[in-house]
Amino acid sequence: MSKQSFLYGTIILIIAGLFTRFLGFVNRIVVARLIGEEGVGIYMMTIPTLMLLITLTQIGLPVAIAKFVAEAEANNDSLKIRNILTISLFLTGILSIIFSIGLFFISPWLANLLNEERTMLTLMFISPIIPIIAVSSILKGYFQGKQNMKPQSISVVVEQIIRISCVALFIKLLLPYGIEYAAAGAMVSVLLGELGSLLYLVYCYKKEKFPLFTASHRQEKNSKRTVMNELFSIAIPTTGSRLIGSFSAFLEPILIAQCMAIAGYSAMVTTKLYGELTGFVMPLLLLPTFITFSLSIALVPSIAEAEAKQNHSLIHYRIHQSIRISFASGALATIVFTLFPANLLHFMYGKTEASYLLLFLSPFFLFLYIQAPLQAALQALNIAKQAMWNSIIGVIIKLALLILLTSQERFGMMGVAISIATSVILVTLLHLFTLYKEINFKIAKVDIVKMLTLLIITYYVGVFLKSLYSMDQLPLIAFIILLSILSLLYFLLLFLLRFITMEELRQIPWINKWLPS
């Protein structure tokens, strides 16, 4: 499998991300309509535990693997690549077994801590998922380092297809036994999807014909020790950043449950409100992140290769390029969420109660959309330690605000939204400041003007189009037409303001052949 350019690899990931995000939304709609807000709340309360254990199992190795495999590729050092793979697989294999067994036995205690005993069964089904994702992440890091994004892209599509094919079946089979069994059925579909993804990645690796062990590989103990030290120099700070985020997400449902109880909300109402925020609103807000996530994945090996060749101007260009594309991908979504929060929730879930949360959070998530590539740049430049401290500061502020506001009845779930928004802005600004301090990187004033121009023009055109309809709840066909007109204008502005350039389009083979020479 061949290496791709930065933009070509990013486009492959974006296409796969778009497809899987669509399937993911279909999956969420199916789950929401089958088990309702309460069932979604039970399911979503267990997701932070899964994310935390995955972070602990991976210990930041996928990012480190991508960086050092890219550097080794640039230096034609196949022995180092083998050492990277064997060390990483060994470490994650041991850790995943330990955490899987541990979670299975402490599930009843965790369910009690969440103040929702019905989560116990779903937590138990998380256990076998952990080692599967651990091995998959190592193989994904390897292919990222080779700057071959096709295996990862196809594997996530495989995972989503299997998940969506199974979710309705398992929920319907288990729903007669109770809503907690139905939520566990949704987790079983996750397990099967991740297993299918892993099997595809193993197939791709076998096609590479790159054996893990050779005679010379077994003899190079000093080389392995050096590789381990290098991996941990990136992996530990990266783990710190992700662990902080995952631990925060793990604590959130616990703190929300306790604080909402102090504010006078019942456990059932809290579960329902939490399901609306995390099951309905957050997936919409995170929709554009499949693009920023794709950019981040492609950015790490690209910057690592440029750094190995001491090409500092390319490093600055790649970061600028990632911010520009990330902002462009999120700005349209932000405007649509701001103008039509109730319409979107109604069309997707048949409910509009959480529209106030979507309306409030959407402008602040513009900062999140550029945060991922900034963090990837810090990791690729060996500044992962400072990125970790930025994340720690953001989490401390978020949890402090969450406790302070959510425990007051007049705030309720809005207190959670305020804490999330504050953290997102703070961490993004800290990442920008760190890059400025370390490599003198800053966003050009002309780019800031372009961003504001794009937002203002698109927003006020959207306001005008919306005013053409007197009713609050637009018919679906009218909404689609309005959204299509707004999107066409938006993409025209992207080219006029040079958020996307012809030079960049020429780097994508199947687009370049249609462009004039």
Task: Please state which of the ranges 127-131, 446-450, 503-507 shows the lowest mean pLDDT.
Answer: 503-507
Q: Helices H, strands E: what count in the chain?
A: 22, 0
Instruction: Please determine, for residue 365, whether its predicted confidence score (pLDDT) is greater than 90.
Output: yes
Residues 6 or more apart from 471 whose CB is under 8 A from it?
none
Q: Pick the closest to residue 430 from 363, 380, 369, 367 (CA basis).
A: 367
Could you list the residue range(s) of the whole structural domain that residue 97 is in?
Answer: 6-443
CA 196, chain centre distance (Å):
20
pLDDT digits (tens, 9 = 90+) for 125-149: 888 888 998 889 888 888 888 878 7
pLDDT at 2: 54
Q: What is the DSSP string of 169-211?
A: HHHHHHGGG-HHHHHHHHHHHHHHHHHHHHHHHHHHHHHHT--
The answer to whether 417 and 343 have CB atoms below 8 angstroms apart is no
Whole-angstrom distance, CA of residue 28 vs CA of residue 186: 10
Identify whether 360 is part of a domain. yes
Total residues belonging to the chain: 517
35 in Cβ contact with 168 (< 8 Å): no
Q: Quote the Cα angle for 501-502-505, to 5°.
A: 95
Residues 238 and 387 in one domain: yes
Query: Helix-strand-coil percent breakdown of the chain, rounded to 5?
Result: 85, 0, 15
Q: Domain ends where: 443, 458, 491? A: 443
pLDDT at 240: 67
Question: Is 276 a domain residue?
Answer: yes
The residue-averaged pLDDT of 273-295 equals: 81
Q: What distance in Å separates the CA atoms of residue 85 and residue 213, rounded to the nearest whole number?
A: 10
Instruction: Say if residue 217's pLDDT is above 50.
Output: no
> Please, how many CA atoms are within 13 Å of residue 453, restricted to the half-sphere of its CB?
14
Listed residues 443, 475, 501: the one ending a domain: 443
Q: Of 54-68, 216-230, 323-337, 467-481, which has the strongest mean pLDDT?
A: 323-337
Give ∠ CA 92-51-121 in degrees, rounded to 5. Answer: 105
- Least confident range from 54-68, 314-328, 481-495: namely 54-68
| In a shared domain, residues 109 and 163 | yes
Amino acid residing at 494: L
Q: pTM above the 0.75 mark?
A: no
The reply to whether 205 and 271 lie within a common domain is yes
Residue 159 has pLDDT above 80, yes or no: yes
Q: Is residue 179 part of a domain?
A: yes
Q: Provide, rounded to the nearest whole percent, the portion of the chain with pLDDT above 70.
A: 89
Query: Per-residue pLDDT for 453 more than 90?
Result: yes
Q: How large a percentage of the chain has pLDDT more than 90?
A: 14
Confidence band, pLDDT 50/70/90 cuts, at residue 223: low
More confident residue, 511 or 210: 210
The answer, yes or no, to whether residue 218 has pLDDT greater than 70, is no
Of the listed ranges 180-194, 231-245, 400-414, the one predicted with least confidence: 231-245
**The total number of structural domains that make up the chain:** 2
449 and 437 part of one domain: no
Say what the pLDDT of residue 433 is: 93
Phi then psi for 99, rounded to 5 degrees? -70, -35
- Is 457 among the domain residues? yes
pLDDT tens string 75-119 = 777 778 888 888 888 888 888 889 889 888 888 888 887 777 888
Q: Output the pLDDT for position 169.
A: 86
Question: Amino acid identity, residue 140?
Answer: K
52 part of a folded domain: yes
Q: Which residues contact 422 (CB under 8 A, 6 or more apart)?
A: 397, 398, 401
The answer, yes or no, to whether residue 214 has pLDDT greater than 60, is: no
Do 350 and 477 share a domain, yes or no?
Answer: no
- The token pair at 279 is 């099951």
Q: Mean of the per-residue pLDDT values for the chain?
A: 82
**Residue 410 scores a pLDDT above 60:** yes
- Consecutive H or E run containing 40: helix 6-58
Using the structure block, give the residue that is written with the tokens 């804490």. Answer: 419
Structure confidence at residue 5 as a pLDDT band (50, 70, 90) = low
Paired tokens of 272: 């329902």
Nearest-angstrom CA–CA distance, 337 and 308: 42
Could you tell me the pLDDT band of residue 507, with boundaries at 50, 70 and 90?
A: low
When pLDDT is cut at 50, 70 and 90, the band that residue 241 belongs to is low
Mark whether 169 and 250 lie in a shared domain: yes
Residue 335 shares a structural domain with residue 474: no
- The candidate with the shortest Cα–Cα distance to 73, out of 300, 318, 376, 319, is 300
The verdict on 384 and 407 lying in the same domain is yes
363 and 499 in a single domain? The answer is no
Residues 431, 482 within the same domain: no
Q: Is the pLDDT of residue 510 over 50?
A: no
In a shared domain, residues 136 and 240:
yes
Whether 229 maps to a domain, the answer reads yes
What's the rounded Cα separation, in Å, for the pair 30 and 342? 19
Residues 6+ apart with CB under 8 A from 501: none
> 1 in a domain, yes or no?
no
Which pLDDT tens digit goes with each residue over 161-192? 888 888 888 888 888 888 888 888 888 888 99
Residue 412 covered by a domain: yes
Tokens of 512: 């370049």
* Same-domain check for residues 252 and 350: yes
- The structure tokens 């911010």 sit at 323
Residue 17 and residue 156 in contact, taking contact as beta carbons nearer than 8 Å: yes
In eight-state DSSP terms, residue 327 is: H
Of the residues 402, 428, 443, which one is the last residue of a structural domain?
Answer: 443
pLDDT at residue 504, as a whole number: 59
pLDDT-derived band at 16 (thresholds 50, 70, 90) equals confident
For position 439, what pLDDT does the model report? 87
